[in-house]
């Protein structure tokens, strides 16, 4: 009888341990999803702001057709992207194009005095900040989750229930490479 109880006891402990790992994996995966939805909200906000912005600047910027067309093209590319990697690439390009617009604006003092443009610019700046702050949060969560999936013994449970590693969201901003970083 005694060996039976020992075996039963070990089994019970194993099951509890197993359930614990499974639940923690689920929790981490949900946190990643939640962090992603926060980025998504901000990315959508940026997409929504762009038509208004283009409408406002069009009248002033006669010589920047290429810049404006780029923004429109990258915006639709970003809106159609499905995977995290694709999205990151498209959003990076969009960010770069918007950066180019920001620099181009400097040549149009009338536009810089336009109240409507100023408030749009503030919204856009803030949205970009929110994207970068929520991106940091998302990448933190992905790191925790991926670590858990790769490490023993939780990798066994992850393998059984096909928990897949998530992608980091790294924006490739061409303008970031062009501008030398200033260290304070």
41 — phi, psi (to 5°)? -55, -45
Which of 1, 4, 16, 183 touches other proteins (CB under 8 A)? 183
**Under 8 Å CB-to-CB from 73, ≥6 apart: which residues?**
none
The pattern of x and - marking residues 38 through 77 that bind other proteins according to CB under 8 A reads x---------------------------------------
Please provide the distance, in angstroms rounded to a whole number, between the alpha carbons at the two ends of the chain.
Answer: 73
Is residue 109 near other proteins by the rule CB under 8 A?
Answer: no
Is residue 130 near other proteins by the rule CB under 8 A?
Answer: yes
Which of 134, 145, 154, 166 touches other proteins (CB under 8 A)? 134
Per-residue tokens: 181: 């970083």
Helix (H) or strand (E) holding 129: helix 115-150
Cα angle 166, 85, 104 (rounded to 5 degrees) comes to: 135
Is residue 125 near other proteins by the rule CB under 8 A?
Answer: yes
Per-residue tokens: 77: 């590319």
Is residue 147 near other proteins by the rule CB under 8 A?
Answer: no
Burial class of residue 91 in the structure, from the number of CB atoms within 10 Å of its CB (0-12 exposed, 13-18 middle, 19+ buried): buried
Is residue 37 near other proteins by the rule CB under 8 A?
Answer: no
Write out the binding residues for other proteins, residues 162-181 only, by CB under 8 A.
Answer: 179, 181
Which of 23, 136, 147, 150 touches other proteins (CB under 8 A)? 136
Count how many Cα atoms sit within 13 Å of the Cα of residue 173 in the half-sphere of its side chain: 16
Which of 55, 66, 122, 165 touches other proteins (CB under 8 A)? 122
> Where do contacts with other proteins occur on this chain (CB under 8 A)?
38, 115, 119, 122-123, 125-126, 129-130, 132-134, 136-137, 179, 181-184
């Amino acid at each position: 009888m005694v060996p039976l109880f020992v075996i039963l006891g070990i089994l019970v402990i194993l099951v509890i341990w197993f359930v614990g790992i499974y639940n923690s994996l689920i929790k981490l995966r949900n946190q990643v999803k939640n962090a992603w939805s926060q980025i998504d909200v901000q990315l959508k906000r940026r997409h929504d702001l762009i038509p208004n912005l283009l409408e406002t600047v069009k009248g002033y910027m006669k010589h920047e057709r290429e810049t404006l067309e780029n923004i429109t093209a990258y915006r639709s590319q970003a809106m159609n992207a499905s995977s995290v990697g694709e999205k990151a690439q498209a959003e990076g390009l969009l960010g770069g194009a918007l950066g180019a617009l920001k620099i181009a604006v400097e040549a149009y003092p009338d536009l810089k005095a336009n109240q409507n443009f100023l408030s749009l610019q503030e919204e856009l700046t803030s949205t970009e900040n929110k994207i970068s702050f929520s991106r940091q949060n998302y990448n933190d969560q992905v790191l925790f989750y991926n670590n858990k999936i790769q490490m023993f013994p939780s990798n066994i449970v992850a393998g059984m229930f096909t928990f897949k590693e998530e992608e980091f969201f790294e924006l490739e901003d061409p303008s970031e490479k062009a501008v030398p970083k200033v260290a304070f």
